[in-house]
Amino acid sequence: MRVLVIGSGGREHALCWKLRQSPLLTDLFCAPGNPGIGAVADLVPIEIENVPQLAEFAGEMNIDLTVVGPEMPLTLGLADEFAARGLAVFGPRRQAAELEGSKVFAKQFMERHGIPTAPFVVAHDAEDAWNAVLDLGLPVVLKADGLAAGKGVVIPRDEEELSKALAVFFEERRFGDAGARVVVEKFLEGEEVSFIGLSDGERVLPMASSKDYKRIGEGDTGPNTGGMGAHSPAGVLGSEDAAWVLEHVMRRTVAGLAAENRPFAGVLYAGLILTPEGPRVLEFNVRFGDPETQPLMLRLEDDLLPVLAEAAAGQFTTQRLRFRQEAAACVVLASAPYPERPVTGEPIVGLEAAAACEGAEIFHAGTATRDGRVVTAGGRVLNVCAVGSGLREALRRAYAAAAELDWPAKRLRGDIGRRLLESLLPPA
């Protein structure tokens, strides 16, 4: 099969790395890709927003399956464009992708279909938001309605923080049109966990559990980012809760979208919080998580390609996905002052040494080449991943590999999985 992957981050590198292992694969392309992806796929210089050009390339090159990594092209209707041209694509159409493209739609959808989530109010201006807080009480969670690359979430805990946050949304308009409407949500206490499944429009194949770490600072402090690390298994989701989520969240969501004439085939990602009252949905994504995909691909035993092709065709024959018993971890190396405007263009040293570390895989995210050297080219630069017999060993190996890498503005969280290891898992 000839396959095109769309995207340029660590998630897409991990997907290409896994797809390259398939005996069904004949040719692999990635648009636009990055230097790391270039080692396993042919790079295509087309940006992810250029849907017509991507479709033209797929048609001219007789691509058998296109796999969409990021959310942006899905919300722009890439799957619709490809379907109109008779091209197979793994990813939901625009109407179904609204589940991620609009936080307001997602919350109202959950309300309509009895999917458990936090109480919320939709605010159109600062006055609406203040009134909502009076009803819900502080702290609250403020979420930009539209896409904001994982950064459109603020959690004010007192009135001073609330005033600053509302200024960010409604006066500074830092999130542009994405923040024209804001979801004001009751703050819920509990452990967060990612539940990711593949859907063919009717069935859902759950992936192994995973947990990501969105805050920039250790101890889950500071602003949200696209994700500073992840591991699988999550370590906090029991089998009973997992079965409940599969039935009452994942399958109910796919069925609800179908009932609203928004058939969903692709990745359904539920960001959950485990409360004393049971799991609650914080958000939905309609694509593979980043960085959760990286450890999941390291653990996935099955050939990924035929499963994605079956989903795109609307007919799973696969009954379940198999994952290795070993754990996998991912540590994100970013370039300061991420999540603000990062320093770029700095040469990265230690790539070969890091890749040689036991159990390690290095997935590129924000990298480029200049004068024959790999340099930083984004906020999240590298994903340093590793497999181990358990989570403790996987994290130890990932951090050992991360220590081999350096550039002047390098930053990382040194506590990915630490609290979980200290509180929930016995010493190795």
- Phi, psi for residue 362 in degrees, rounded to 5: -110, 120
85-105 per-position pLDDT tens digit: 999 999 999 999 999 999 999
Within this chain, do residues 148 and 206 fall inside the same structural domain, yes or no? no
Whether 383 and 365 have beta carbons less than 8 Å apart is answered as yes
Within this chain, do residues 214 and 301 fall inside the same structural domain, yes or no? yes
- pLDDT tier, 428 (very low <50, low <70, confident <90, very high otherwise): very low
> How much is the pLDDT for 109?
98
CATH number where 138 lies? 3.30.1490.20
- pLDDT tier, 180 (very low <50, low <70, confident <90, very high otherwise): confident
In a domain, 276, yes or no: yes
In a domain, 109, yes or no: no
Within this chain, do residues 301 and 332 fall inside the same structural domain, yes or no? no
194-205 per-position pLDDT tens digit: 999 999 999 999
> How much is the pLDDT for 150?
64
> Comparing C-alpha atoms, which of 366, 70, 427, 392 is closest to residue 231?
392
Within this chain, do residues 198 and 305 fall inside the same structural domain, yes or no? yes
Determine the Cα angle at 339 with ends 338 and 342, to 5°.
Answer: 35
In a domain, 104, yes or no: no
> Comparing C-alpha atoms, which of 323, 291, 284 is closest to residue 304?
323
In a domain, 38, yes or no: yes
Instruction: Give the domain extent around 133.
Output: 119-186
47 exposure class (CB count in 10 Å sphere: 0-12, 13-18, 19+): middle
- pLDDT tier, 130 (very low <50, low <70, confident <90, very high otherwise): very high
> Comparing C-alpha atoms, which of 43, 36, 415, 100 is closest to residue 289?
100
> Comparing C-alpha atoms, which of 427, 196, 404 is closest to residue 295?
196
Within this chain, do residues 166 and 219 fall inside the same structural domain, yes or no? no
Compute the half-sphere exposure of residue 350: CA atoms within 13 Å on the CB side of its CA.
16
Whether 54 and 6 have beta carbons less than 8 Å apart is answered as yes
Q: Of 186, 210, 237, which residue constitutes the final position of a domain?
A: 186
206-233 per-position pLDDT tens digit: 999 999 999 999 999 998 899 999 999 9
229-243 per-position pLDDT tens digit: 999 999 999 999 999
pLDDT of residue 152 exceeding 90, the answer is no
Within this chain, do residues 174 and 197 fall inside the same structural domain, yes or no? no
pLDDT of residue 345 exceeding 80, the answer is yes
Q: Of 170, 186, 202, which residue constitutes the final position of a domain?
A: 186
Within this chain, do residues 214 and 287 fall inside the same structural domain, yes or no? yes
- pLDDT tier, 424 (very low <50, low <70, confident <90, very high otherwise): low
Residues 28 and 317: their CA atoms lie apart, in Å, by 24
Within this chain, do residues 135 and 200 fall inside the same structural domain, yes or no? no
283-292 per-position pLDDT tens digit: 999 999 999 9
Whether 361 and 297 have beta carbons less than 8 Å apart is answered as no
> How much is the pLDDT for 391?
96
In a domain, 252, yes or no: yes
28-80 per-position pLDDT tens digit: 999 999 999 999 999 999 999 999 999 999 999 999 999 999 999 999 999 99
Whether 118 and 141 have beta carbons less than 8 Å apart is answered as yes
Within this chain, do residues 197 and 182 fall inside the same structural domain, yes or no? no
> How much is the pLDDT for 122?
95
- pLDDT tier, 179 (very low <50, low <70, confident <90, very high otherwise): confident
Within this chain, do residues 201 and 289 fall inside the same structural domain, yes or no? yes
Within this chain, do residues 41 and 22 fall inside the same structural domain, yes or no? yes
> How much is the pLDDT for 426?
54
Q: Of 313, 347, 377, which residue constitutes the final position of a domain?
A: 313
Report the number of distinct structural domains present in the chain. 4
Within this chain, do residues 74 and 50 fall inside the same structural domain, yes or no? yes
CATH number where 376 lies? 3.90.600.10
In a domain, 97, yes or no: no
In a domain, 408, yes or no: yes
In a domain, 62, yes or no: yes
231-282 per-position pLDDT tens digit: 999 999 999 999 999 999 999 999 999 999 999 999 999 999 999 999 999 9
